[in-house]
Copies of this chain bind each other. A is one copy, B any other.
Amino acid sequence: MGWRIPDKLRELGEQTTGSEMMNPFQLSGMEYSSLTLEKSEHPYRERDSAENVYIVRHGLCFSYRYSEEGRRQIIDLAFPGDFLGLEALTQEHFVSSVSALTRAELVAYPVGDFTRQCYAKPALSRVLVECIAREQAVLTKRLVGVAHSPASQRIAHFLLEVRVRALRSASLHPMYTDERDRSLVTASGDFRIRLPQAMVADILGLSIVHVSRIMTRLKEGGLIKEASTGIHYCDLDGLKGVAMWEGLAPWFDET
């Protein structure tokens, strides 16, 4: 689903051990294992028994589900620092699948431990609530958008959303800047990211064809460029205009 920031765990009262400081993923009292995903590998799938909660460490993942008609609906992207699979906290089995958009590295915590720690450290629960609330804000925003706005606006908005979230993630989580895959952040001011149009389509509920059409329009307008390095954002203000951008949510700082 893409929840946020274990860092706050430390930030928020709970004292941290030295080793936790060294490695923000090692939370005391919890098992902890890493796994590396190649592009389009799955840490878990719908219906799998939900044994772990994950945090993204590197790379980009996305969670999705198939609609009854068999279309893939992407629910959200997950940037480094985001949680994945929090459904495990409340359910036996996952109700969504996750796949890696680039090579990615996750950290897995067994649900049991996680739940236990929630009880032991209220700060952890508290963080969770915040993360979920933040996630929820993004989702409802998208819900509102998907419902009413024309495709161009949705797409522009989504591109901006991705930028803000990626930048936030990168700043909180500098290791993301790791150049291992190139779906990355700023070069010389302008932002770029590798994001196949099919992703955009499946997130926003549009057809690939139509996404293509609109992206070419955006390109013609000089708002973005596309290259093998991904989508480049050329004219931020232009994009914000098209998107009717008002910011993502109060707690996401603008850049």
A binding-site residues for B, Cβ under 8 Å: 1, 65, 67-69, 71, 73, 75, 86-87, 89-93, 95-96, 115, 118-120, 122-123, 125-126, 128-130, 132-137, 139-140, 142-149, 204-205, 244, 246, 249-251
Question: Which residues of chain B come closer than 8 Å to A147, judged between CB atoms?
Answer: 67, 73, 146, 204-205
A75 to B133: give the CA distance in the assembly, Å.
14
Top 3 A-B residue pairs of the complex, sorted by shortest distance between their CB atoms:
A147-B205, A125-B125, A68-B244
Check A95/B137 contact, CB under 8 A, given A69-B149, A129-B129: yes
Structural contact, A133 and B67, CB atoms closer than 8 A: no
Known: A136-B136, A139-B140, A143-B142. A89 touches B129 (CB 8 A): yes
Apart from A118-B122, A125-B126, A142-B143, list 9 A-B contacts with CB within 8 A: A90-B130, A93-B250, A118-B126, A119-B123, A122-B122, A122-B125, A129-B132, A146-B146, A147-B205
Q: Are A139 and B136 also in contact (CB < 8 A) when A90-B129, A129-B125, A129-B128 are? A: yes
> Interface on chain A toward B: helix, strand, loop, or mixed SS?
helix
Contact B89 A148 (CB under 8 A): no
Question: Are B250's CB and A91's CB within 8 A?
Answer: yes
Residues of B contacting A71 in the complex (Cβ-Cβ under 8 angstroms): 148
A115: nearest chain-B partner, CB-CB: B126
Closest chain B residue, CB of each to CB of A96: B140
Contacts of A65 in B (CB 8 A): 140, 144
**Choice from B68, B123, B133 contacting A90 with Cβ under 8 Å:** B133
Give the chain B neighbours of A119 by CB distance below 8 A. Answer: 122-123, 126
Q: Are B133 and A125 in contact (CB under 8 A)?
A: no
Shortest C-beta distance, A14 to chain B (Å), equals 11
A136-B135, A146-B205 known; A249+B68 contact, CB < 8 A: no
State whether A144 touches B67 (Cβ < 8 A): yes
- Given A118-B126, A136-B135, decide whether A148 and B205 contact each other with a Cβ distance below 8 A: yes
Residue from the set A123, A137, A144, A149 with the largest chain B CB neighbour count within 10 Å: A144
B67 near A149 with CB under 8 A, answer yes
Q: Is the CB of A251 within 8 A of B143?
A: no
* Complex Cα–Cα for A144 and B142 (A): 11
Residues in B whose Cβ lies below 8 Å from that of A134: 90
Q: How many angstroms from the CA of A234 to the CA of B80 in the assembled complex?
A: 49
In the complex, what's the smallest C-beta–C-beta distance from A194 to chain B, in angstroms? 23
